[in-house]
Amino acid sequence: MKQKSKYQQELEKEPFYNIKDEEFGEEVEFEIDKNAFKGGPFTCHGKKSALVEKKASYGDLEFTYNIWQCRKCKKEYLDFDQAKKYEKFLMMKKLLQEDNITMERSMNYDGKTYFFRFPKELTKNLSKSSLVDIKLLSTNGRMFLVEIKG
Ligand SMILES: [Zn+2]
């Protein structure tokens, strides 16, 4: 088997690597180019792909993003930054969907710090060396977006 490049391995770790989205019942599929880290334009059919602006919407949420598209076969490619951006749209979309996996936890207090426990089933991929990235979403300090890195 051919050894995967460092970039390819890094890329496959990204949550957006297997981006799949459904729009009007049809699955939208992008190719994350193996040179995604370098950015486009990518070469397809012997020619450089063109930068194309696309629009996606979900309810009131509208989103403009760019892709690289082959002029001949119309195949769409995303580079790293484009994929990251599209992933954000998918996350927002997920937030608006009714069928979100939701859980309620009791707040704990140890006399100094507030904390809550993650459900056990969701912590299989976590490690003590993980970093937690917390984004404050509301001004009252009660809504957060939590991402566990590494
Ligand atoms: Zn092509």
How confident is the model over 127-150, as pLDDT tens digits? 889 899 998 988 998 988 888 887
- In terms of domains, do 21 and 51 share one? yes
- In terms of domains, do 19 and 64 share one? yes
Angle (CA) 59 89 35, round 5°: 145
CA 72 – ligand 1 centroid, Å = 5
- In terms of domains, do 43 and 112 share one? no
pLDDT, mean over the chain: 83
CA 70 – ligand 1 centroid, Å = 5
Residue 87 to residue 28: CA distance in whole angstroms: 13
DSSP 141: S
The burial class, CB within 10 Å (0-12 / 13-18 / 19+), for 1 is exposed
For 56-88, what is each residue's pLDDT tens digit? 888 887 889 899 999 999 988 888 888 888 888
Angle (CA) 11 12 18, round 5°: 110
Higher pLDDT among residues 24 and 123, named by residue: 123
Non-local (6+) Cβ contacts of 137 within 8 A are: 143, 144, 145
Residue 94 to residue 54: CA distance in whole angstroms: 20
Output the six-digit token pair for 36: 């995604």
- In terms of domains, do 23 and 79 share one? yes
CA 24 – ligand 1 centroid, Å = 24
CA 2 – ligand 1 centroid, Å = 24
Residue range(s) defining the domain that contains residue 67:
6-96
- pLDDT bracket for residue 113 (50, 70, 90): very high
